[in-house]
Amino acid sequence: MLRTILIVLTLAVLASAAFLLFRGPAEADICTADEVLQAPSGNDLRLCDVVFEVQPDNDVWVVVRVTDPSLAGGAARAEHGDHDWACETWGLPALDKEPRPTRIIVQIMETPFQRGEPAPGITQSIEAYSEQNATCMWELL
């Protein structure tokens, strides 16, 4: 009887450890912001984080990462106007940092995931901008 209880407890501990190991990071571990605003499309966009990345040529890019749950399952595409709006709302204010970023990247994703990690099955849309006369100018990547 005692042996059976020990086996069951051991299996329960192993199952719990496997769940914690393979479930991936929680949204709170990825997103450091929680501001939710309604975009021009009517969708609620949640600011996940604003990341500053130094590029190989030493330029700094600011990456604005937002979630849009309406993209779930690949059924929808992010509206280009929502990208423009996110750039103006969160990207332009981030340019006040030194060294001043040369490009703003807006990443709209259905659910958060670690930056730089593969995200199979997660719908996302990415646009690039530069700043001209205090407005976001769309660029090709």
Spell out the per-residue pLDDT of the chain, length 141, in tens.
Answer: 555 433 333 333 333 333 333 334 445 567 888 889 999 999 999 999 999 999 999 999 999 999 998 888 776 778 999 999 999 999 999 999 888 999 999 999 999 998 888 888 899 999 999 999 999 999 987
Q: For residue 82, is it within any domain?
A: yes
**DSSP code per residue over 48-107:** EEEEEEE-TTS-EEEEEEEE-GGGGGG-S---HHHHHHHIIIIIHHHTTSSSPPSEEEEE
Q: Would 96 be classed as within a structural domain?
A: yes
Q: Report if residue 16 sits inside a domain.
A: no
Q: How many domains does the chain have?
A: 1
Would residue 92 count as lying in a domain? Answer: yes
Parent domain of 102:
27-139
The pLDDT of residue 133 is: 95
Residue 13 belongs to a domain: no
- Residue 14 belongs to some domain of the structure: no
The whole-number pLDDT of residue 20 equals 32
In a domain, 18, yes or no: no
Sign of CA dihedral 21, 22, 27, 32: positive
Model pLDDT, residue 73: 74
Does some domain include residue 5? no
Return the H-helix or E-strand segment holding 47: strand 44-54
The pLDDT assigned to 75 comes to: 65
Q: pTM for this one?
A: 0.77
